[in-house]
Structure 1
Amino acid sequence: MNTIYQDLTFEEFLKRQGVTKATIQLLEEEEIADKVTLGALSEDDINGLGLKVGQKAILRSLTTKAKSRLPDARNSVIPPPIREVNGTGEVDLQCYCLEKDGKGKVVAEITTKHTNEINPIKTRILILVDTSGSMGIKTGRRRRYSKLYRIKGFAKNMVTSLDDGDFAGLVTFGENADVLLPMTEITHESRDRLKSKLDTLDKSFLSTKTNLSAGLSKALEVFRDASSGKRDLLHYRNAIIVFSDGEVNAGTQEPSKLVHEVREKIRQLSFGLDESLNQWASISTVVLGKSASEIMFCLSKFCSSDAFYTIDMDVDNSNTETDLFLPVLMRKAAVAWNVSVYIESVNGAVLINEDCSQDNKVRTHGQSSRGPKTAKAYFYYDIPAASTRHIGIGVDLEEAFEEEVLKVKVEYSGFSGERKTIIRTITKSDILTEGRVQGGKAITEHYKNDARMLSEEVLGKAAKAALDGNSGGSADAMREGQSELQKLMNRYGDMADKQETAQTEIFDYAKSLMSNFECLLQKVNTPKDEDTDEQIEAESSWLKIKAVSSAISREAPGLAETVSDSNILCPLPDVRKVSSTPMRTEMEKVYKEKGIRESLFFDFDGAIDELKKSIKKDED
């Protein structure tokens, strides 16, 4: 813009450009009060103001000029070079090896257990809310609050708990998608204003349609409009949390097609980031009710590393807002993100597909679909502090002609934004002898990995049968699964002979799995009377089974009481200290509800400081 305008107020500047008084007043009401905010307006933002054609043209020209002065986004940040670290970064990698019948089995443990203090990273979180008619119906035994009212409470709590410098936004979707709250920086001054804006959520127009694809597209556009280049995608942990209570009935409705569209749009908006970084936003999903939603499950499975979240709003629960905070907690607790794991068999060794983990797996490029498999790739959007994730690998050694048979590489981004890598090489000797050296630990980790894979397979069959209305078939699948889990426990228990600690850990894990299978059996076998809606019950069973299965297979905590013995099967991050007071307060509520001791986040340094102040005060 011409330098002659630099000393003008924003209002005077607009008048000089031909903007009418009515338009200026509208911009003030929309809190567009400076040239920077004006320059960030998108085409959708301008169209949404409801202006006449001439006024829209003027604003469009001003935003174009403003954006033309921004640095070239594609060249604004060059990702740092990859640095190899071994035991000195946020992530460590351990490999546990066993041999059986001439075949090798390896469990790769990706751990952040040594990083048990959280200095929360900067986040940009967008809440995407379904505003179809059923979301406005009051729920619970007393029918006091609607689902939208509960989401409003959660959103306001989130604004309170986020750190200064974080960003929050909210988009609603029904037949169309609307931006209720553009991506806004959290500051001491902005919190009350944001909460006031969120108060209108449960007063939104309720639609007869549920167009999730429109909502996701709009949500990603909000991120685009708030980003000037690669730095914003790498500097912040970017996340969308979707809340919906039913099946999608408008827009893209085929699950795999929607997943492809969303991942492709995220890639297109990555400012040219490479393959290891261009999935810069994760999408967690929360189903609020009893309706089966394959599309929400697939988004969770392929666009996040979280469990599939479900919560029954018809059950009275005073802690709903606390439950819903879990996906925010997982983002703020992250210490590594864009975690790529690449596994390659070498020198004649061949990967055994059925013995390799299936969850979090991504397509490997450049490998033929025919012939021996020599590579697998896995991807985690993020991994929280004080946590572990495991990948099982099966390898056929029969044709191996050299000692080295397997390479495992983990590449991730840490606090500094620096890209780091860890590489482990596995030899035939490791597989043939390491199990004996590692002892009970190797046996235990292999048992748990096999049990997770078996549970995922069994519960997948049970969920399908339940959704088909075949509750008997669902129950049979789970009973057969219990029998197989018992055999698996006995086999590994025998391998851990005279290793009491390992046997106890195997037994406890098996007992926890059996307990969850029993709960699910009770769910599908609940007696039905003539008033029971069998379709609703079938979908409710599917939801429950899928939620339990994903939490166990992903080792990621679920909402509320989704999984019994979750501290064994899918624990919360075992953190010891959180530097952010607002975040610590909300995290304490989540941990307390799951029965974890309140002293988990005891701030020892802070307590010492308070003690010193108290002593000094007494001396004075």
Structure 2
Amino acid sequence: MKSNNRMKTLGGLVALLMTLAPLAANAAQVQLEVALGNPVLLANEKQTTFVKVGLTGFAMQSNEDRPPVNVAIVLDRSGSMSGDKIERAKEAAKMAVDRLSPKDIVSIVTYDHTVNVLLPATKVTDKGYIKNEISKIQPGGNTALFAGVSKGAGEVRKFLEDNRVNRVILLSDGLANVGPSSPGELANLGESLAKEGMAVTTIGLGLGFNEDLMTQLAFKSEGNHYFVAEEAELAKVFNTEFGDVLSVVAQDVVVDIDCREGIRPIRILDREGNIDGQTVKVKLPQIYSNQQKYVLLEVEIPASEEGSTLP
């Protein structure tokens, strides 16, 4: 079921229509705020300014309010992950499993030069079994990162539903050196998965991973990206990421901005969207509880007389 919220603001500069797909009982409780970059504009000359549209998810009342999660944990088990790295990664993954509930779905994928589905997508009804499977992970050869993400997405796809938070969480400490391995190829993969309703979060461990590749994959899929200097920090980062995953209140949010006659939308900053005449459409994949997402739009405003206001 879709929810709409319309407001007219800034003296008639823009009108907004927000459409979102609720994920829980309180999902429609998204606060909408609008601000103008320059509240006072110069008289008698055409100029540009910025419109900021902020969307903040209200706090969830309890864990029962949250939507179910469908997550694939994709772990690099290449040779460079041997020793403390792989052990810390396994402990972080187990901790993440402990935060899930029976309504959630999890899968575990590992990769070196080949890809292995350690745990096919399953409901989290036996945490002991899942954590025991994670304990079996051992380091191996090279790094088939693209194939690992693709296989993880395949597991998420088995239970892909609009009312679930669908995400792939990738951990890697090295360079992709088997199969597609350029930032552009991984960016295209991320963009393709985003269109299916999946986000990819990337966690880069140490100094040897390709930051551009990992960042592009996360950015194009609207996931998060983390840099972890030391393996001892992995548990903290996994905890932060699962905090986000478990606090989504709405997804597939579409913000329509209708500019009044004479106001020309120029560009959308740092987000993909569409400008068609006076109408601007931007999609935000997810809104988190107690966090703000925002859209920045640059607009051109016509010259007006001193002391006048926008009608």
Q: TM-score range by the shorter chain?
A: 0.7 to 0.9
Amino acid at match of 1:288: L
Which residue matches 1:294? 212
Cα offset, 1:363, TM superposition: 4.2
Which residue matches 1:352? 266
More helix by share: 1
Cα offset, 1:351, TM superposition: 2.0
Matching of residues 102-113 of structure 1 within 5 Å:
102-112=47-57
The secondary structure found in structure 2 opposite 1:95 is strand
Change (3 A) 1:211 1:107: same
Which residue matches 2:200? 283
Alignment of 1:183 with 2:121, yes or no, is yes
The secondary structure found in structure 2 opposite 1:233 is coil
Matching of residues 402-441 of structure 1 within 5 Å:
429=310
Alignment of 1:167 with 2:105, yes or no, is yes
Matching of residues 226-305 of structure 1 within 5 Å:
226-227=158-159, 232-264=160-192, 266=193, 278-291=195-208, 292-305=210-223
For 1:127-153, what per-residue CA distance to the aligned partner results, in whole angstroms no more than 9, with x for missing partners?
A: 0111211011x3xxxxxx2x1111110
Which residue matches 1:84? 4
Which aligned runs of 4 or more in structure 1 are off by greater than 6 angstroms? none
Alignment of 1:362 with 2:301, yes or no, is no
Which residue matches 2:67? 121
Amino acid at match of 2:294: H
Confirm or deny: 8 A CA contact 1:99 1:105 kept in the other structure. no
Distance in 2 (alpha carbons) for counterparts of 1:262 and 1:198 = 26
Which residue matches 1:436? none
Change (3 A) 1:287 1:300: same
Which entry has the higher C-alpha Rg, 1 or 2?
1
Which residue matches 1:331? 245
Gaps of 5+ in 1: 1-79, 139-144, 268-277, 368-372, 401-427, 431-620
Alignment of 1:390 with 2:294, yes or no, is yes
Which residue matches 1:211? 144
For 1:14-72, what per-residue CA distance to the aligned partner results, in whole angstroms no more than 9, with x for missing partners?
A: xxxxxxxxxxxxxxxxxxxxxxxxxxxxxxxxxxxxxxxxxxxxxxxxxxxxxxxxxxx
Amino acid at match of 2:165: R
Gaps of 5+ in 2: 8-25
Amino acid at match of 1:364: N
Distance in 2 (alpha carbons) for counterparts of 1:326 and 1:152 = 16
Change (3 A) 1:344 1:299: farther
Cα offset, 1:429, TM superposition: 2.4
- Structure with the greater relative contact order (CA < 8 A, sep ≥ 6): 1 or 2? 2
Confirm or deny: 8 A CA contact 1:305 1:381 kept in the other structure. no
Amino acid at match of 2:103: G
Distance in 1 (alpha carbons) for counterparts of 2:53 and 2:283 = 13
Moved more, 162-171 or 377-386: 377-386
Amino acid at match of 1:249: N
CA RMSD of aligned residues (A): 2.6
Amino acid at match of 1:115: A
Aligned residues: 279
Matching of residues 444-463 of structure 1 within 5 Å:
none
The secondary structure found in structure 1 opposite 2:167 is strand
Cα offset, 1:346, TM superposition: 4.4
Confirm or deny: 8 A CA contact 1:104 1:397 kept in the other structure. yes
Amino acid at match of 1:107: K
Amino acid at match of 2:34: C
Distance in 2 (alpha carbons) for counterparts of 1:122 and 1:295 = 29
Distance in 1 (alpha carbons) for counterparts of 2:294 and 2:190 = 27
Confirm or deny: 8 A CA contact 2:261 2:278 kept in the other structure. no
The secondary structure found in structure 2 opposite 1:235 is coil
Distance in 1 (alpha carbons) for counterparts of 2:6 and 2:300 = 27
Which residue matches 2:129? 193
Cα offset, 1:282, TM superposition: 0.9
Change (3 A) 1:350 1:85: closer
Amino acid at match of 1:84: N
For 1:524-578, what per-residue CA distance to the aligned partner results, in whole angstroms no more than 9, with x for missing partners?
A: xxxxxxxxxxxxxxxxxxxxxxxxxxxxxxxxxxxxxxxxxxxxxxxxxxxxxxx
Amino acid at match of 1:126: A
Distance in 1 (alpha carbons) for counterparts of 2:182 and 2:34 = 38
Amino acid at match of 1:357: L
Cα offset, 1:305, TM superposition: 4.3
Which residue matches 1:20? none
Amino acid at match of 1:100: L
Which residue matches 1:378? 282
Distance in 2 (alpha carbons) for counterparts of 1:127 and 1:83 = 32
Distance in 2 (alpha carbons) for counterparts of 1:257 and 1:326 = 28
Amino acid at match of 2:86: L
Confirm or deny: 8 A CA contact 1:279 1:338 kept in the other structure. no
Cα offset, 1:166, TM superposition: 0.8
Which residue matches 1:272? none
Moved more, 214-223 or 329-338: 214-223
Cα offset, 1:116, TM superposition: 4.7
What TM-score, normalized to structure 2?
0.80
Distance in 1 (alpha carbons) for counterparts of 2:99 and 2:49 = 47
Cα offset, 1:390, TM superposition: 2.5
Confirm or deny: 8 A CA contact 2:273 2:283 kept in the other structure. no
Confirm or deny: 8 A CA contact 2:94 2:131 kept in the other structure. yes
Cα offset, 1:235, TM superposition: 2.3
For 1:78-98, what per-residue CA distance to the aligned partner results, in whole angstroms no more than 9, with x for missing partners?
A: xx4x34246993212121232
Amino acid at match of 2:189: E
Identity %: 21
Matching of residues 598-609 of structure 1 within 5 Å:
none
Change (3 A) 1:263 1:323: closer
Cα offset, 1:195, TM superposition: 1.2
Cα offset, 1:377, TM superposition: 4.0
For 1:220-241, what per-residue CA distance to the aligned partner results, in whole angstroms no more than 9, with x for missing partners?
A: 22123x33xxxx4112111110
The secondary structure found in structure 2 opposite 1:352 is strand
More strand by share: 2
Which residue matches 1:437? none
Distance in 2 (alpha carbons) for counterparts of 1:252 and 1:399 = 52
Select which of 131, 138, 144 maps to 2:77.
Answer: 131
